[in-house]
Amino acid sequence: MLPPVDNLIKELSRLPGLGRRSAERAAMAIIAKPEKLSDPLTAALREVRDTVSCCELCGGLTLIGQQPCRLCSDTTRDQHLLCVVEEPADILAIERSGVFNGCYHALLGKLSPVRRNAVENLRLKELSRRVADTSVTEVILALSTDMEGDATAAYINEMFVNSKVVISRLAFGLPTDSGIGYSDPITLKRAIKGRFRF
């Protein structure tokens, strides 16, 4: 394989959900139609890099210079409810369901010894500070239902064990070993409405 092609495949395979074979197919498609795929993809990547960042408050996506993001700035949202998610994409998925009108907090990961994601790698200090400094009365854990998500939920529950804040978790309507971002709006709606106390 030519070194530039091999390098493209290697870089694409680093993306979540793309293994070596999928990355190879994507690379071949990009190479075959550079005007249709390569040039627009390069422009889109450059634009995202130059204009998008994470919200300093919730960790969700926002435009550079727009801090806090539009969701955090929305005064009509319920400031007493704080939905904790793993990734910014999870915020988008819950927003698409249209059933949650509170605030968000993205951890930017979950506890995972395999991925070397420890407590200090997540936005847990920010979560603790945010709950202490605001009028949050309930923290809803919208985390994956795998072992890492369960471990993260247990850790967060322990963080607030001596506080007056209610810790709840989405009802089991989400498939086991699945992430929020892969769930359809109806499943998310049921899960949010049927959440339970931790």
* Percentage above 90 pLDDT, the chain: 72
Question: Is 101 part of any domain?
Answer: yes
Kindly state whether residues 191 and 110 are assigned to the same domain.
Answer: yes
Question: Within a domain: residue 7?
Answer: yes
In-domain check, residue 121 = yes
Rounded CA separation 127/58 (Å): 9
Q: What is the pLDDT of residue 173?
A: 66
Please state whether beta strands 61-63 and 78-85 pair in parallel, antiparallel, or not at all (unpaired): unpaired
Domain count, the chain: 2
- Does residue 66 have a pLDDT over 90? yes
Task: Give 36-50 pLDDT, tens digit per residue.
Answer: 999 999 999 999 999
Residue 99 confidence (pLDDT): 92
Same domain? 8 vs 83: no
pLDDT digits (tens, 9 = 90+) for 95-154: 999 999 999 999 999 998 767 778 888 999 999 999 999 999 999 999 998 889 999 999
pLDDT of residue 91: 97
Which residues sit opposite 141 in a β-bridge?
84, 169
102 & 155 share domain: yes
Mean pLDDT (whole number) for 59-88: 97
Strand ranges of the sheet holding 196-197, from the earlier edge strand across to the other edge: 102-106, 78-85, 138-142, 166-169, 196-197
Q: E strands, the chain, where? A: 52-54, 61-63, 78-85, 102-106, 138-142, 166-169, 196-197
Domain membership of residue 132 (yes or no) is yes
Structural domain for 120, as ranges? 76-197
> Do 100 and 137 sit in the same domain of this protein?
yes
pLDDT above 80 (res 181): yes
**Quick check: is 32 in a domain?**
yes
Average pLDDT across the chain, whole number: 91
| CATH code where residue 36 lies | 1.10.8.420
> Is the CB of residue 138 less than 8 Å from the CB of residue 82?
yes
Task: Kindly state whether residues 123 and 185 are assigned to the same domain.
Answer: yes
Note whether residue 63 is domain-resident. Answer: no
Model confidence, pTM: 0.81
Residues 44 and 81 in one domain: no
CATH of residue 170: 3.40.1360.10
